[in-house]
A and B are shown apart, each in its own frame.
Chain A
Amino acid sequence: MTLRLKNQGLYETRYEHDACGIGAVVNINGKRDHSIIEYGKEILINLRHRGAAGADEATGDGAGILFQIPHEYFAVECEMLGFSLPEPGQYGVGMVFGSKDGDIRKACDGVLESAVTHYGLKILGWREVPSSNDCLGEIALAAEPSIRQIFVDGNGLKNGSLERKLYLARKRSERLVAEKVGEKGEDFYVTSLSCSTIVYKGMFMAWQLFAYYPDLADERVKSALAIVHQRYSTNTFPNWRLAQPFRCIAHNGELNTLSGNRNAMRAREKKMASEVFGDDITELFPILTPQASDSACFDSALELLVRSGRSMPHAMMMMIPEAFGPKYHISTDKRAFYEYHSAIMEPWDGPAAMVFSDGRLLGGTLDRNGLRPCRYLVTTDGLAIIASETGVVEFPPEKIRTKGRLQPGRMLLVDTIEGRIISDNEIKSKIARQRPYRRWLDENRIELRGLFDTPKLVKSDPRTIAQRMRAFGYTREELKMILTPMAVNGQEPVGSMGNDTPLAVLSDKPKLLFDYFKQLFAQVTNPAIDPLREGLVMSLMVFAGKKQNILDESPRHCRQLKLPHPILSNEDIERLRAVSRDDFKVATISALFDADTEKPAEALRRGLDSLIDSAEKAIKDGASLLIISDRNISQTKAPIPSLLATAAVHHGMLNRGLRNEAGLIVESGEPREIMHFCLLCGYGANAINPFLAFESLDELHRQGELPADMEPIQIADNYIAAIKKGILKTMSKMGISTLRSYTGAQLFEAIGLNRTVVDEYFTGTSSRIGGIGLAEIAQEALARHTSGFQQRPSGVLQLDFGGEYHFRHSGQRHLWNPTTVSRLQHAVQNNDAEAYADYAKAVNEQAKTLCTLRGLFEFVSGEAVDIEEVEPASEIVKRFCTGAMSHGSISKEAHECIAIAMNRLGSMSNTGEGGEDPERYTQEANGDSKNCAIKQIASARFGVTLNYLAHAHQLQIKIAQGAKPGEGGQLPGHKVTEEIARLRYSTPGVTLISPPPHHDIYSIEDLAQLIYDLKCGNPGVTVSVKLVAEVGVGTVAAGVAKGNADEVLISGHDGGTGASPLSSIKHTGCPWELGLAETQQVLVMNNLRDRIRVQVDGQLKTGRDVVVGALLGAERFGFGTAALVTLGCTLLRKCHEGACPFGIGTQDPELRRRFAGKPEYLQRFMYFVAEEVRQLMAKLGFRKFEDMVGRVDKLQMNRAIDHYKAKGLDFSAIFCQPDISDGRAVRCVKAQPNKLEDHIDWEILKQAQPALERKEKTVIEMPIHNTNRTIGTILSNRIVSKYGPAGLPEGTVKIVLHGSAGQSFGAFLAPGVTLRLIGGSNDYLGKGLSGGRIVVSVPEGSPFIAHENIIVGNTLLYGATSGEVFINGVAGERFAVRNSGAIAVVEGVGDHGCEYMTGGTVVVLGKTGCNFAAGMSGGIAYVLDEMQLFDTMCNLDMVELESVWQEHDKELLRDLIGRHLKWTASARAKYILDAWPDMIGKFVKVVPIDYRKALQKMRAAEQRDTETTPATEEVFS
């Protein structure tokens, strides 16, 4: 029985994620053999660490295999069953899951049979698939379906035409089973029904697949190709159908744009027509099964495109186009192909490694970002293996012809009939020229020359502008803090210290509808993209207009308006409105409603209805662009909130099947900040004209608020540039590269909107706590309208201040306000419990002045206990920790003060992302310790050395931070003092960049790998993972629990920060109350809560906050802002300026002297909070804190609140307790299983004893496999624990390993250890390298040329701080990413080499991919540039290129290549050295610009040794 996931509490099934390992094997010549299946098995088993097991540790998340129909075998089997099979290709086989209940199964099978016969095919018979379920885990067993195969005669049809009929039959049966059998039929699932391939799959761990299906072991089962898949999902719910492969593909990754793709597919159905299907086409609808996973939907869409006539590679190119921006060298025809198809279909965007097959072709492709590993290998006897890892099948070296990897956006195809591998270039150029796409585009695409040139002067009427600004809710603060910085700098404004204002639904002020939405962002299960350094893959280009039949291709398909970006100036829109051509008409529809009304809700509804009707009418009159406009507001007409208008038209047209008939353009006075534009695009707008924003800028300029020397054109340009950057950034947070797939993807969560509004206008958006409806939306719109059109009394300012960002007396409420800050400081400075009580009261009593969701909670009183019996405060404070604040974001003084205070309490402080001075590991004379118990591992890995890991009690992987989840950050050069630079292994004065993703976490299985690495780096340490609350965070937390983390931290959206874009502070993530409750619910539902602790943080201020957190399921609590306030912070919100007058958020020595905080202050605060907790515990009747955890029954909603907006809220989903009747735990009661037990290092350690004990030289030799991960790290930990960070003397331990190394080979390797790998390695080699040496060389006897073959994987040397690496071959993408000190020689690298590098030296003796040195701020790279084209591959934003002419450069280079030769016997090195005088001229030296300046300054300063000025002052002046 399928135990289907159901939405309950805060949990929603659609946020489930999965990731996995994939593989494929093919005999290039098409020779069918059973060995192919065996290879498939080997691949799967060797990828098992990429899958995961459920709560019972025995149920896998799913595994499966796709291969060619084994005719020989089935023929015999069927004969035995009493029927004969026709010739191969003339019959189809279906693999059918069904109910265990015979009657239901029969009913479903009957439907399938009649569907088959409906299309004129003949049922030959059924076969029970032999299975042996004694290998299954309990959970999988409970869900096991009956599995049968159906054999269908093509009745004369064969191959393609038979395949189509089978496809129709399957789709028809799926629809009819749902209709006729209903819910009972949900076990019915056809894994495949085809005349060429078959899929065996189920809820297995890798090995179980083969144990379960004896068929697969039968020697007669032969195939020329196979695709295998191993799944890692975020839940533990059994569901056999979620296993992969699907009918055409196996996918590793996640499609972030799914909801947009779904809607777009639905919109296309109306116009779909195909000769091959004729009238039957409607049988295929819906093309995408509702609620199916992203991969399943992709498979369905691909299947449609293929069955209707496109080739599989062609369809793949449409759905996962490679990046074709100006920075890519690609042919004009190919670029035209992609552009043409972008007018037809949006990319299915997200990390994706796909393998696909139609039975003849087998291929693999990677998305444009290449964020999933995909390696291939071709043997001399015609076998090709594609897999997530190398080494999954072992071959002797002499049998390997080539080794490679799929590059971003590239495809590898094997044609088993032609018997050859077809290269990416060949496939694509052939497809790109099969039609005259380029000519079609040139002749049809509409660009209206000049239309999108630089915007011209905007006319605004200064007399009425204030009126209009008020009517659209503008405040003075927005002009000052949002629009002005955008216009002046072309950048989104930055702020600090988080958010402490109420949610829109709790605010007394009329809020824009935009404010009721929160951006979603990628965390863990897929990576964010770096929109700055890796922006070349991104695109804002959109096509708007009438869309044509997707199953067809014609010149008319691209008869659309092409926009380079979605922002239209006021002039643009006027020009556009004036367009009138027969085949391209523009209509303006009015988004207004009656202002003069007693019943606002009805007036608004009438307005919306009329808006949708006029849209329909305009389309029927032939418009291909609709302009939704609120320009004509008046005394009697108020604007419909632009988001509501847009979403209403978008969904209205979708529902009426008209969405593809016209593009939507929004002309509104309302949008002005980045979030607004993102929302409008996300809910369907193709382009936006923010007319009032432009007018306001004009007005500001007129009033002299903007620099007088700025041209109005420049102002508008800057503003547009800022929006563009902001949209790119918002898309990148979700891991989306193109606006085309972001449009309509609805990647938002609503907070405070009721179900009716959401279902009707924002269909498909999560809104979990109810809230306001149309009536309140109208009321708020009218309040703005009234304020706009009512005469203001004399002397009153034309615009209200606002107070959303900075406190103002009459503005928005803030929880941090003069009272709370000053009372808290008084309390801790004077140990004044009364002042603390005042403070806590001011924060806690939100009954009148709502600020947070928890403010609306009420405790359910229980039987009180005497406070004397309650656990002492000294125990409670141990559950407290401080937030991750780096030394860098705050001063040394503040950072150490916090550490001392927390250590005195036995609580934990957190290093933040900035490393830590090893001096702090030594105890102070007075017994204090400055060593932070929690050490953070963030994306830039600053200061993350083996020694750092070894001194932690807990290691925290920061996936996201509350103030800016999904974003990177940077520490500007002027803050990088000598001290900071030392701790972060960088150069003083040089800007440091933290990329948005961890470059070793692109998926959940990658996270599990990093956890594994860290545990190797300090066996016994606990690992926590920091997530930010958003809808779906619970499922991510479940994945984290399955990844062996010991703790998960749920941060609220409002957390503080040193610097973050304001749109991120305000609009991303959700309150921790929601995230925590969801996490607790999902962990309990999956029975995973017992093994993982939960921590919460985000604007925690009082004991009441702690108790609410505990009842919702948290065991530990983090304080950030409050801790800083106790040390003197008064929330100037100027951290990003580095001008903190209290010496906290600054590195300026003069200001640091002002730091007046004392550890005692923070200690007192923690005790005050703990005492408040005790009082509440006594009142609620809890003696032990742990008894309180997860007791959500003790919370209820405060019903007494009568706030016109808050009264619509419904917290029942938050207070939902999953079924725990089986006695499962609701808090952590046991440790995670120890996954280090079978680590190969234990064996190495045994053999390395002489070295460890006596520093004797030791050589160890052993074979290894790709399943041996993180080799050398435990050994290194033992060395550093014993000998300190300096490790062992050079050359003490030498370990020679033969074979393919698993991921993270030599991570954090210590000095004195040399790992010599003969073979190849997977991703993350040398991660965090801490002084050791890694050598990788090809085995003797390999026939291939080393420097043309991939020998190691992606993301090498990530965060390496010292040591050296020699690689006799080519490395994958992101080589030496964020390297800060290691030396590396390699013979070629993929894209993004040396990205974000801050130090060290890299020598590349061969080709590089594109975007080399992006974000590189330090270190040096030497690249052999034989073709003299390196400058076209290099990202020159931050670096300069020069030839190698200085003697010391030449010497260094020669020395390094010499050592490379010595260690690896590289033929390449030898060749270069032999021709040294000729070769040296071909090297290019890559030097970061700032780095060079800083080095020069330092050198100059060193020379002036009589000068008293320290070098650093020179540097950052």
Chain B
Amino acid sequence: MGEVKGFIKYKRQDVGHRQVEKRVHDFNEFDLPLTPDAIRQQAARCMDCGIPFCHGVGCPLNNLIPDINELVYKDQWEQACQMLHATNNFPEITGRVCPAPCESACTLSINDEPVLIRHIEFQIVERGFEHGWIKPMPAPEKTGKRIAIIGSGPAGLAAAQQLARAGHDVVIFEKDERVGGMLRYGIPDFKLEKRIIGRRLDQLAAEGVEFETGVEVGKDISARYLHKMFDCVCLAMGARQPRDLAVTGRGYENILFAMDYLTAQNKLCSDEPIEQAKVVTAKDKVVAVIGGGDTGSDCVGTARRQGAKKIYQFEILPKPPENRSPDTPWPMWPRVMRTSTSVEEGCERRWSIMTKKFSGYETRVGRLHACEVEWIEKNGGWKIKELPGTNFVLDVDLVILALGFLHVEHEGLVGDLGLQLDEKGSVTVNECQTSVPWVFAAGDTVSGASWVATAINSGRGAAAAIDKWLRH
């Protein structure tokens, strides 16, 4: 462990950010990393609990957090880096974008501030790249088995890396022009600069992973072909089917899905070729983001950087409590009021708002009609009730729907393979294996939309299952 009573001696020191006025003018990352001394103090706060809830229930990857903290405290960064990578293929990504359920499960979070786990992770992996500790780890022996992975998001990449290291030949098929999936096109640059993905992909390539981009399996090549060419297939194409808003006026063209909006900006940032028609900017516009989640926040931050005049963010659920509510007790991921950095940058947030319809001129939306609601518990479920007299109308120039994702897209490959689906529309698996024995699945495809860390863990799980199945 770090220091006995380190948690009393040192207070939690959160990561600083570039000033709002300055950072909203570019799309670059804005975290200001802690100094090495400060990091060591933060690591010293870890108590190396007999039951590390951070590791046991918090972290989806079960990172060996207490051990890693101790190594950092002891200045053994290289070993920390090695240990971090033992459970997490891409700590540079989780170290940036993970909501850090580990921290809300930290024992200290019960009556104090949790250990700064995510940022310690970030520092380790960045130092690792800086010092060249993160090297390709090709398999010592090849098995000769071939595996196709569909989708290059966190789950697909993690599965690919694990399988390559186990000695298998791995090909990733990605329908987009570049590799990364949600990491590349969903997460804005100010949270994850795309060079971060690049250096990791170099490692994967050196370990033998092949990438086939711009190939949509099910369209460009058939499932049958895959079966013929590969020993097995792992589906990791995410859960891209967005939840829609079925209200009058939904058809206006300046009402976008968040993913389309974010993808466009991400491509612009990376100088990727993009059809002009798909470029929608918020510059000088009044923007309404519908949906109060992380994606919604990303849209707010993007719109702010594009130069929006005014940004609203509406959430249909009630405002969460300031502190952890009893229905999500420690060490669970709490329902609690969170204010993202994007919201800090300027946005009017409202809760318990239901959008009732859109109106506009010709093809473009001009007004959003909404009201306040209350949630009533009934027969164990929750019902929405409009609050009378709360109707309001708002002039808007751009509406972004960030209502979450439903499930994997059923059209194409999933349909072609005839995979069994669950009631939510996700692919059903048993130990990562789908109803078709040679097809495995991982990530959001299986779980529905979730965190990056969950996806990486799922990819690792699928890789282990595939490896076992292939060796069996």
* B51 touching A818, Cβ below 8 Å: yes
State which residues 818-859 of A face B: CB under 8 Å.
818-819, 821-822, 825-826, 829-830
* CB contact under 8 A between A808 and B138, given known A793-B166, A814-B51, A1139-B47: no
Q: Does B110 contact A (CB under 8 A)?
A: yes
Q: Does B67 contact A (CB under 8 A)?
A: yes
User: Taking the nearest CB of chain A, how far is it from the CB of B350, in angstroms?
Assistant: 31
Q: Does A806 contact B (CB under 8 A)?
A: yes
| Interface SS, B side | loop
Q: Does B437 contact A (CB under 8 A)?
A: no
State which residues 110-143 of B face A: CB under 8 Å.
110-112, 137-141
Question: How many Å lie between the Cα of A1130 and that of B139 in the bound state?
Answer: 41
* B48 touching A806, Cβ below 8 Å: yes
Binds B, one of A45-53, A235-243, A795-803, A1303-1311: A795-803
* CB contact under 8 A between A1130 and B47, given known A794-B138, A1141-B7: no
Binds B, one of A513-521, A1149-1157, A1193-1201: A1149-1157
* A817 touching B140, Cβ below 8 Å: no
* B139 touching A794, Cβ below 8 Å: yes
Question: How many Å lie between the Cα of A260 and that of B62 in the bound state?
Answer: 48
User: Taking the nearest CB of chain B, how far is it from the CB of A789, in angstroms?
Assistant: 14
* A826 touching B329, Cβ below 8 Å: yes
* B50 touching A1131, Cβ below 8 Å: yes
State which residues 180-236 of B face A: CB under 8 Å.
207
Q: Does A204 contact B (CB under 8 A)?
A: no
A contact residues around B56 at 8 Å (CB): 807-809, 817-818
Contact string against A for B residues 142-168, beta-carbon threshold 8 Å, 1 for contact and 0 otherwise: 000000000000000000011001110
State which residues 1078-1135 of A face B: CB under 8 Å.
1128, 1130-1134
User: Taking the nearest CB of chain A, how far is it from the CB of B456, in angstroms?
Assistant: 13
Q: In the complex, which residue of chain A has the Cβ closest to the Cβ of B7?
A: A1141
Contact residue among B79, B137, B326 (Cβ-Cβ distance under 8 Å from A703): B79
Binds A, one of B81-89, B255-263, B305-313: B81-89
B contact residues around A805 at 8 Å (CB): 50
A contact residues around B138 at 8 Å (CB): 794
Q: Does B52 contact A (CB under 8 A)?
A: yes
B contact residues around A1148 at 8 Å (CB): 5, 8
User: Taking the nearest CB of chain A, how far is it from the CB of B61, in angstroms?
Assistant: 9
User: Taking the nearest CB of chain A, how far is it from the CB of B54, in angstroms?
Assistant: 10
* CB contact under 8 A between A795 and B107, given known A497-B50, A1139-B5, A1151-B8: no
Q: In the complex, which residue of chain A has the Cβ closest to the Cβ of B467?
A: A793
Question: How many Å lie between the Cα of A1422 and that of B330 in the bound state?
Answer: 59
Q: Does A1506 contact B (CB under 8 A)?
A: no
* A1134 touching B137, Cβ below 8 Å: no
Question: How many Å lie between the Cα of A1141 and that of B114 in the bound state?
Answer: 12
Question: How many Å lie between the Cα of A1132 and that of B50 in the bound state?
Answer: 4
B contact residues around A1154 at 8 Å (CB): 111-112
User: Taking the nearest CB of chain B, how far is it from the CB of A437, in angstroms?
Assistant: 53
Interface centre among A794, A807, A1137 (most CB of B within 10 A): A794
* B329 touching A822, Cβ below 8 Å: yes
User: Taking the nearest CB of chain A, how far is it from the CB of B72, in angstroms?
Assistant: 13
Question: How many Å lie between the Cα of A1139 and that of B53 in the bound state?
Answer: 18
* CB contact under 8 A between A791 and B329, given known A818-B51, A1148-B5: no
A contact residues around B300 at 8 Å (CB): none
Q: Does A810 contact B (CB under 8 A)?
A: yes
Q: In the complex, which residue of chain A has the Cβ closest to the Cβ of B57?
A: A818
Question: How many Å lie between the Cα of A797 and that of B80 in the bound state?
Answer: 11
Interface size counted on chain A using CB atoms at 8 A = 46
* B85 touching A809, Cβ below 8 Å: no
Question: How many Å lie between the Cα of A1141 and that of B137 in the bound state?
Answer: 41
Q: Does B64 contact A (CB under 8 A)?
A: yes
* A1141 touching B51, Cβ below 8 Å: no
Contact residue among A480, A795, A1138 (Cβ-Cβ distance under 8 Å from B85): A795
* A795 touching B331, Cβ below 8 Å: no
Q: Does A91 contact B (CB under 8 A)?
A: no
B contact residues around A1133 at 8 Å (CB): 49-50
* B50 touching A808, Cβ below 8 Å: no
* A809 touching B62, Cβ below 8 Å: yes
* A808 touching B55, Cβ below 8 Å: yes
* CB contact under 8 A between A807 and B62, given known A705-B76, A822-B329, A1132-B107: no
Contact string against B for A residues 707-736, beta-carbon threshold 8 Å, 1 for contact and 0 otherwise: 000000000000000000000000000000
Q: Does B424 contact A (CB under 8 A)?
A: no
Contact residue among A809, A818, A1141 (Cβ-Cβ distance under 8 Å from B331): A818
Contact residue among A480, A704, A796, A1156 (Cβ-Cβ distance under 8 Å from B76): A704
Question: How many Å lie between the Cα of A825 and that of B107 in the bound state?
Answer: 13
Question: How many Å lie between the Cα of A91 and that of B102 in the bound state?
Answer: 89
* A793 touching B165, Cβ below 8 Å: yes
* B329 touching A807, Cβ below 8 Å: no
* A822 touching B82, Cβ below 8 Å: no
Q: In the complex, which residue of chain B has the Cβ closest to the Cβ of A820?
A: B51
User: Taking the nearest CB of chain B, how far is it from the CB of A96, in angstroms?
Assistant: 64
A contact residues around B329 at 8 Å (CB): 822, 825-826, 829-830
Contact residue among A796, A801, A1131, A1139 (Cβ-Cβ distance under 8 Å from B51): A1131
Q: Does B268 contact A (CB under 8 A)?
A: no
State which residues 1148-1198 of A face B: CB under 8 Å.
1148, 1150-1151, 1154, 1156
B contact residues around A1137 at 8 Å (CB): 4-5
* CB contact under 8 A between A1132 and B111, given known A793-B166, A822-B329, A826-B329: no
Q: In the complex, which residue of chain B has the Cβ closest to the Cβ of A481?
A: B48
Question: How many Å lie between the Cα of A1130 and that of B54 in the bound state?
Answer: 12
* CB contact under 8 A between A816 and B51, given known A794-B165, A795-B86, A822-B330: yes
* A793 touching B111, Cβ below 8 Å: no
State which residues 596-646 of A face B: CB under 8 Å.
none
* CB contact under 8 A between A818 and B49, given known A795-B137, A826-B329: no
User: Taking the nearest CB of chain A, how far is it from the CB of B202, in angstroms?
Assistant: 16
Q: Does A1483 contact B (CB under 8 A)?
A: no
* B52 touching A806, Cβ below 8 Å: yes
Q: In the complex, which residue of chain B has the Cβ closest to the Cβ of A704?
A: B76
User: Taking the nearest CB of chain B, how far is it from the CB of A1131, in angstroms?
Assistant: 4
* B108 touching A1141, Cβ below 8 Å: yes
Question: How many Å lie between the Cα of A794 and that of B162 in the bound state?
Answer: 9
Q: Does A246 contact B (CB under 8 A)?
A: no
* A705 touching B51, Cβ below 8 Å: no
Q: Does A1142 contact B (CB under 8 A)?
A: yes
User: Taking the nearest CB of chain B, how far is it from the CB of A542, in angstroms?
Assistant: 38
B contact residues around A816 at 8 Å (CB): 50-51
Q: Does B74 contact A (CB under 8 A)?
A: yes
User: Taking the nearest CB of chain A, how far is it from the CB of B136, in angstroms?
Assistant: 9
B contact residues around A497 at 8 Å (CB): 50
A contact residues around B139 at 8 Å (CB): 793-794
Contact string against A for B residues 66-97, beta-carbon threshold 8 Å, 1 for contact and 0 otherwise: 11000000101001001101100000000000
Question: How many Å lie between the Cα of A1131 and that of B331 in the bound state?
Answer: 14
Question: How many Å lie between the Cα of A1139 and that of B3 in the bound state?
Answer: 10
Question: How many Å lie between the Cα of A705 and that of B75 in the bound state?
Answer: 10
State which residues 1-20 of B face A: CB under 8 Å.
1, 4-5, 7-8
Question: How many Å lie between the Cα of A801 and that of B8 in the bound state?
Answer: 28
* A801 touching B67, Cβ below 8 Å: yes
User: Taking the nearest CB of chain B, how far is it from the CB of A1057, in angstroms?
Assistant: 12
B contact residues around A1128 at 8 Å (CB): 110
Given contacts A703-B79, A795-B161, 10 further A-B pairs with CB under 8 A are A791-B141, A795-B165, A797-B82, A809-B62, A814-B51, A818-B57, A1131-B49, A1137-B4, A1139-B5, A1141-B7
Residues of B whose CB lies within 8 Å of any CB of A are: 1, 4-5, 7-8, 47-53, 55-57, 62, 64, 66-67, 74, 76, 79, 82-83, 85-86, 105, 107-108, 110-112, 137-141, 161-162, 165-167, 207, 326, 329-332
Chosen A-B contacts, 26 in total, with CB atoms closer than 8 Å, are A480-B67, A497-B50, A791-B140, A791-B141, A794-B165, A795-B86, A797-B86, A806-B50, A806-B66, A807-B51, A807-B52, A807-B56, A817-B56, A818-B51, A821-B51, A830-B326, A1128-B110, A1130-B53, A1132-B51, A1133-B49, A1134-B49, A1139-B8, A1139-B47, A1142-B110, A1142-B111, A1148-B5
